[in-house]
Amino acid sequence: MKLFGLTDTGLVRQNNQDSYAIRQPDESLGIVVVCDGMGGARAGNVASAVGVEAFSSALEESCRQGLPPDPERKQELLKSAVRTANGQIYELAEENPEYYGMGTTLVAALILSNEAYIANVGDSRCYHWSEGMLHQISQDHSVVQALVERGEITPEQARTHPRKNLITRALGTAIGTQIDVFRIDYRAGDKLLLCSDGLTNVVTDDVVSRELALNIAPEDMARALLTLAIEQGAPDNVTVVVAQL
Ligand code: CA
């Protein structure tokens, strides 16, 4: 298992409110997480940094204690780590007026030897590339995604919709949060991509799929995806984590 991530401010924003973390407690086990913060110049950075650190530390500790065999309990461990992150961000925001209202998205994966578990809150995304096909695993928790699901706009219209930045779920803005968790099987050669909307708002799924099909190292793939976002003007922070399984 090879894991690589990078984050970039982009060409328009003054600072980078995205964060990511990669932990590999052992050869056959990977923890990856991307957070896209919001809430003022400094607070967004804090929310995403605390989010990735709290989540990955909590999940790594669970892994060290030994993972339960059944999928439901593994999914519960992911949810528990997300709740830990949520609680830490929420408390910081409560205690510090300058952090009031901060929050973050979170998309994360626990990668094992032939399966992976994905947790999602917000509109950062997880894609699974397998046998030439790209599958979006996470569903955005956003105003425009709800409009797409109701058939009011098309996915193409969603990409450029004026309200595309409004998310309907976040970490750190309330005591509790609703968390999606998914389980996927995978085969040798499959790839996982975790990314913030700074990538997916400017690079289409078709282009992402074409990049993931290339037989290159995760490091080169992540750099190629970032370059594509930069070529599109990179109006937002861009974060990309690639796992090659
Ligand atoms: Ca963003």
**Helix, strand, coil % over all residues of the chain, rounded to 5:** 35, 30, 35
pLDDT of residue 40: 75
Find the 70 Cα to ligand 1 centroid distance in Å. Answer: 34
pLDDT of residue 245: 85
Judge whether residue 12 has pLDDT over 90: yes
pLDDT of residue 53: 98
What angle is formed at CA 165 by the lines to CA 195 and CA 6, rounded to 5 degrees?
20
The residues near 45 (Cβ < 8 Å, ≥ 6 apart) are: 15, 16, 17, 19, 37
Residues 14-47: tens digit of each pLDDT: 999 999 999 999 888 999 999 999 987 679 999 9
Find the 197 Cα to ligand 1 centroid distance in Å. Answer: 5
Find the 48 Cα to ligand 1 centroid distance in Å. Answer: 11
Confidence of residue 160 (pLDDT cuts 50, 70, 90): confident
Confidence of residue 95 (pLDDT cuts 50, 70, 90): very high
pTM across the whole model: 0.97
Judge whether residue 164 has pLDDT over 90: no
Residues 190-209: tens digit of each pLDDT: 999 999 999 999 999 999 99
Q: Higher-confidence residue: 107 or 100?
A: 107
Q: How many of the other CB atoms lie within 10 Å of CB of 51?
A: 31
pLDDT of residue 103: 96
Cα(77)–Cα(94) distance, integer angstroms: 26
Find the 16 Cα to ligand 1 centroid distance in Å. Answer: 9
- Residues that place a CB less than 5 A from ion ligand 1: 36, 196-198, 236
Find the 73 Cα to ligand 1 centroid distance in Å. Answer: 31
